[in-house]
Chain A
Amino acid sequence: MRLTCPFCGPRDRREFHYYGAADYLNRPGPEAAASAWDDYLHNRDNPAGVTQDLWYHEQGCAAWLKVTRNTVTHEILAVDAVAGGAA
């Protein structure tokens, strides 16, 4: 598997650290209801198809990336920098 880092170009997946679903970007406010925090921390979809998750270019530029990919075909559809306003 290869990811095209927007800063470094195409790289092997061994350079990246996988974190989890891109849901982690949607942090509730400090006053949000407990259920919102539950959803944020623990509840995840497991789609057969397009999904978005977070990868860290740990052995590259240290950018956090939001990867849009298809779990069925393994296609990588987009790789965006998290800091680029994707959140």
Chain B
Amino acid sequence: MRIDSKGRIDRSRPLTFVFDGTSYAGFKGDTLASALMANNVRVVGRSFKYHRPRGILTAGSEEPNALVEVLGPSNQTPNTRATMQELFEGLVARSQNRWPSLGLDLLEVNDLAAPFLSAGFYYKTFMWPRRLWEGLYEPLIRRAAGLGRLSGKHDEGTYEKAWAHCDLLVIGAGPAGLMAALTAARAGVDVILCDESSEPGGRLLSDEGAIDGLPAADWVAGVLAEMASLPNLRLMTRTTVTGAYDDGTFGALERVGLHRRPRPNLPRECFWRIVAKRSILAAGALERAIAFENNDRPGVMMASALSTYLNRYGVVPGKRIALFANTDSARNTARSLMAAGVEVAAIIDPREDAAEEPGTTVHRGAVVARARGRMGLREITIRKGASETRLSVDCLGVSGGWNPTLHLTCHMNGRPRWSADLAAFVPNDGAIPGMLVAGAANGSFSTHGCLAAGAEAARASLAALGMAAPMAALPQAEDAPYAIAPLWQVPTKKRAWLDFANDVTTKDVALSAQEGFTSVEHMKRYTTQGMAPDQGKNSNVAALAVLADATGRGIPETGTTTFRPPFAPVSIAAMGAGGRGAGFAPQRFLTSDRASRDRHAPMIEAGLWYRPSYFPKPGETTWRESCDREVMMVRSSVGVTDVSTLGKIDIQGPDAGRFLDFVYTNTFSTLPVGRVRYGLMLREDGHVLDDGTCARLGETHWLMTTTTAAAGLVMRHLDFVHQAFCADWQVRFTSVTEGWAQFAVAGPRARDLITSALGRAPGLPFMGCSDVTVQGIAGRLFRISFSGEEGYEIAVPTRYGEALFRDLIARAETMGGGPYGMEALNVLRIEKGFITHAEIHGRTTACDIGMEKMVSAKKDCIGKAAAARPGMTGPEREQLVGLKPLTDSPITAGAHLFAQGAELTRENSAGYVTSVGYSPLLKSHLALAFLKNGRARHGETIRLVDRLRDIDVLCSVTGPVFHDPEGEKLRA
């Protein structure tokens, strides 16, 4: 029901929205909750376990009942708090956890079965027989319980993540936060002020207080106006700080577009990481409930929420309201309601010394014993001593006191302490390094207390930042003492709710204690109290008090549960913003990428790179046809392929040769200028790290090539070796991988192609290199081969890569050649027995791959000592061999090798296959494999078994080099 004169909604901007298929009207400035309330919608959801009708309980992010699904064009956002969802034109929302409808929920039968669904019912009921769990119990429970549903479709919404840095982060823009941020910003430091509401002000907007003699909301407006003029202050509304992490890092979730009609490119949410030198937690306090019989009936809500709905949204949930409170704060609610013309039927105050309240009846020393009204409160029972009286009301505001919102102070293992005066937990100093807690979050509940604490926290933070802060006069505000007589539950034999979201009652907690789960952490898990989306914000302290009662211990002895991040739920989509689809990983494209795609080459991923798989010709229908043709093309004429993905590290300095001797197993310092050498690199533990060629371009200038896969790893390794062990050597190096486009030209006509492209004969011996001019461009030429044919690699600066690639291919095609892709490249290197990271996979030693002679005896190198250790060499290890099936049968990488006749057990595995390919040259499938004592077993027949793919083939063991073992073609 609307109250005409009240609220901060914009009545000139009516909006329509849909809830459960019915269209309603609201105003700009409403939340979904306030608009439903204005339309007298009392039941907004069904409870988790018992499917009891539930109404709105709070006006904030702690709401446990009013959880809805918000339906967008491509999104269905479950568990949205109606109390946080701002209204916009066309909003469509749906209640959750009911079937078929809110009014008629057939699963409400669970409520009748409550005796069987008490604490621990999962454990007791569904344990045995175990085999029924997956098939029957779990699906059944999941259908009956559970909260909102997802759409099952991809979330096509836009999300962002971002960083922000500041001197001071102020969390919460109530009186303490506003005062703190203003004081600090006036002193000139960089301030970020976050508030989770759409509008700063906190309780100043909800309560009708006065500051400096003016309505508090006017003071807020003045502060905001000044803040807007301060460029060093950033105000982030709709932003919930969700976690406090090491070294002043905070997580925060901003609702960027959730309060507006969706439109393309409008982010829904942004996940912020905020780095702050200092922080002030001014998150306020949350009012807590009192448990009594049927206290979950729709219409029973928090007293402070009544004030918020009245003063912010101009709406009340009933015509005849009662209040049940053990503090004075609910008196303000009563006065506001009465001043707005709403009938306050009674105030039930358990304190014997409670004051009278003009305009209504105060029942001193009394409690509310029960509520009635399944689909909406009709009546309460007031109990005083032994007498009970009934009172007809349609709304009851409850206040059991206030819990400081100290959650963030627990995120780094801090524990709050119990304050008997406040009957609440308060944070300990220093729980988060650099953080001060101010205002209600620290247990100062008066407006004056909040303003003073905010200013003081700002001054202390400024001092820590090395800034002097002038004392300024505080605005005048009320400073009422906080008087509370703790009351957690009204005794009953029936059910009284503690955790509305997870349907946990006082009986469940008592039962937990009775069954031995007396530790708060055990109670929580046994009853599931505090494990719902609200994470126990509404129930933790009360549940703890009830547990303390049940076990006869005090609350401080009983302890408290740990609050962990996030403070409020964070959507995975926001945390993973940008990581969907192609955003999951960066993409690296070769300069030849377009030319390859022009030729319809399917691209495959190689790390982050995209490389052409093969270049199909008209009429070719399978990749194998193209691959076989490309292999034969290289073997018979000439092929061109882009090898720019290989890592390239430019190394310079007088000690460069010495450095290479230290990182490679073999010697480089003796290599003449203009020559290239193959090198092997070990990890310090003796296993192979990487291999590749290294060219001596000048007396003190080298160019190292790494494999594609290990380019980053090798760079990191070189940096470590240099900085840790020989930082004083005169050597410097940098990655130039991105700087050069490099193409392999291979085949009997490779020399002709290079001659044609350069306009002169290359004139290089095998493993030679030189600077060249390629059609006017300064480039480099290397005579190296990864195919076993005469081969060259020609490099030009990246910007000329595409042009050179197209040029080389055009020339190759006049010679019967052309481009070849990764598939052919792989077959060529298997035919030639060249290894890749399929072979040097991290567990192979130099000896395993037959390169033990490359570990120089004349010098130390990384990995040399470990490579010589027992177990790193010798015949008991698996050694690199070639395999050729005896029949024309495909073979697979990953298959295991067994002696003929051996039982196929893990223990009998004699090795495994690392690489396979079909050789059109040898007309056979070929494999590279590791076989125990393999070098001594050439000529043997071995059984290759792949049980995953049903392959069982006899193979002959050979040397790993199938093609041109003498290397005559390379050196031609």
Known: A28-B865, A82-B723, A87-B724. A41 touches B685 (CB 8 A): yes
Known: A12-B273, A30-B860, A64-B720. A2 touches B247 (CB 8 A): yes
CA distance A60 to B249 in the complex (A): 19
Q: CB-CB < 8 A to B860: which residues of A? A: 30
Known: A1-B246, A2-B247, A12-B275. A37 touches B866 (CB 8 A): yes
CB nearest neighbor in B for A76: B247
Known: A12-B275, A32-B865. A62 touches B685 (CB 8 A): no
A17 within 8 A of B: yes
Q: Which one of A12, A28, A64, A75 lies within 8 Å of B724 (CB-CB)?
A: A64
Q: A27-B725, A37-B865 are in contact. List 9 more A-B contacts (CB 8 A).
A: A1-B246, A10-B275, A24-B684, A25-B724, A41-B684, A54-B720, A56-B719, A76-B247, A82-B720
A83 within 8 A of B: yes
B245 within 8 A of A: yes
Least CB distance, A51 to chain B, in whole angstroms? 15
CA distance A72 to B744 in the complex (A): 54
B864 within 8 A of A: yes
How many A residues have CB within 8 A of the partner chain? 29
Known: A19-B720, A64-B720. A41 touches B866 (CB 8 A): yes
Known: A2-B248, A12-B275, A37-B866. A63 touches B723 (CB 8 A): yes
Would you call B723 and A64 a contact (CB within 8 A)? yes
Q: CB-CB < 8 A to A41: which residues of B? A: 684-685, 866
Would you call A56 and B865 a contact (CB within 8 A)? no
Mark contacts of A46-58 with chain B using CB atoms, 8 A cut-off: 1 yes-contact digit, 0 otherwise.
0000000010101
B716 within 8 A of A: yes
CA distance A19 to B719 in the complex (A): 12
Would you call B725 and A87 a contact (CB within 8 A)? yes
B412 within 8 A of A: yes
Q: Which one of A19, A27, A37, A54 lies within 8 Å of B869 (CB-CB)?
A: A37
Would you call A24 and B865 a contact (CB within 8 A)? no
Least CB distance, B304 to chain A, in whole angstroms? 36
CA distance A85 to B865 in the complex (A): 24
B727 within 8 A of A: yes
Between A and B, 29 residue pairs with Cβ closer than 8 Å are A1-B245, A1-B247, A2-B249, A12-B163, A24-B724, A25-B724, A30-B860, A30-B865, A37-B865, A37-B866, A37-B869, A41-B685, A56-B720, A58-B716, A62-B715, A62-B719, A63-B723, A64-B719, A64-B723, A74-B246, A74-B247, A74-B412, A76-B247, A82-B720, A82-B723, A82-B727, A83-B724, A83-B727, A85-B727
CA distance A37 to B247 in the complex (A): 36
CA distance A81 to B727 in the complex (A): 11
CB nearest neighbor in B for A74: B246
CA distance A75 to B725 in the complex (A): 28
CA distance A30 to B245 in the complex (A): 44
A interface, by DSSP: helix, strand, loop or mixed? mixed
CB nearest neighbor in B for A63: B723
CB nearest neighbor in A for B163: A12
Would you call B275 and A2 a contact (CB within 8 A)? yes
Would you call B685 and A2 a contact (CB within 8 A)? no
Would you call A17 and B724 a contact (CB within 8 A)? no
CA distance A82 to B721 in the complex (A): 10
Q: Which residues of B contact A (CB under 8 A)?
A: 163, 245-249, 273, 275, 412, 433, 684-685, 712, 715-716, 719-720, 722-725, 727, 860, 864-866, 869
Q: CB-CB < 8 A to A85: which residues of B? A: 727
Least CB distance, B427 to chain A, in whole angstroms? 18
Least CB distance, A30 to chain B, in whole angstroms? 4
CB nearest neighbor in B for A2: B247
Least CB distance, B748 to chain A, in whole angstroms? 43
Q: CB-CB < 8 A to B725: which residues of A? A: 27, 87
CA distance A2 to B163 in the complex (A): 14
Q: CB-CB < 8 A to A34: which residues of B? A: 869
CA distance A54 to B722 in the complex (A): 14
CA distance A56 to B866 in the complex (A): 24
Q: CB-CB < 8 A to B864: which residues of A? A: 30
Least CB distance, A83 to chain B, in whole angstroms? 4
CA distance A10 to B163 in the complex (A): 14
Would you call B869 and A2 a contact (CB within 8 A)? no
Least CB distance, A9 to chain B, in whole angstroms? 11
CA distance A10 to B712 in the complex (A): 24
CB nearest neighbor in A for B722: A83
Q: CB-CB < 8 A to B249: which residues of A? A: 1-2, 12
CA distance A1 to B869 in the complex (A): 39
CA distance A1 to B244 in the complex (A): 11
Mark contacts of A33-47 with chain B using CB atoms, 8 A cut-off: 1 yes-contact digit, 0 otherwise.
010010001000000
Q: CB-CB < 8 A to A1: which residues of B? A: 245-247, 249
Q: CB-CB < 8 A to B722: which residues of A? A: 83
Give the one of B248, B724, B869 with max A CB within 10 A. B724
CA distance A74 to B432 in the complex (A): 11
CA distance A80 to B784 in the complex (A): 42
Q: CB-CB < 8 A to B248: which residues of A? A: 2
Would you call B716 and A17 a contact (CB within 8 A)? yes
Give the one of B248, B273, B865 with max A CB within 10 A. B865
CA distance A2 to B250 in the complex (A): 12
CA distance A37 to B719 in the complex (A): 22
CA distance A24 to B717 in the complex (A): 12
Known: A17-B716, A19-B720. A2 touches B273 (CB 8 A): no
CA distance A54 to B717 in the complex (A): 13
Least CB distance, A40 to chain B, in whole angstroms? 8
Least CB distance, B571 to chain A, in whole angstroms? 21
CA distance A56 to B717 in the complex (A): 10
CB nearest neighbor in A for B735: A62
Top 8 nearest A-B pairs (CB, nearest first) are A83-B727, A2-B247, A83-B723, A30-B860, A1-B246, A64-B723, A82-B723, A74-B246
CB nearest neighbor in A for B860: A30
CB nearest neighbor in B for A27: B725
CB nearest neighbor in A for B412: A74
Q: CB-CB < 8 A to A28: which residues of B? A: 865
CA distance A17 to B712 in the complex (A): 11
Q: CB-CB < 8 A to B247: which residues of A? A: 1-2, 10, 74, 76
CB nearest neighbor in A for B865: A37
CA distance A87 to B720 in the complex (A): 12
Least CB distance, B866 to chain A, in whole angstroms? 6
Q: CB-CB < 8 A to B412: which residues of A? A: 74
Least CB distance, A34 to chain B, in whole angstroms? 7
CB nearest neighbor in B for A57: B719
Least CB distance, B676 to chain A, in whole angstroms? 26
Q: CB-CB < 8 A to B712: which residues of A? A: 58
Mark contacts of A12-29 with chain B using CB atoms, 8 A cut-off: 1 yes-contact digit, 0 otherwise.
100001010000110110
CA distance A76 to B248 in the complex (A): 12
CB nearest neighbor in B for A69: B246
CA distance A37 to B860 in the complex (A): 14
Q: CB-CB < 8 A to B724: which residues of A? A: 24-25, 27, 64, 82-83, 87
Least CB distance, B857 to chain A, in whole angstroms? 11
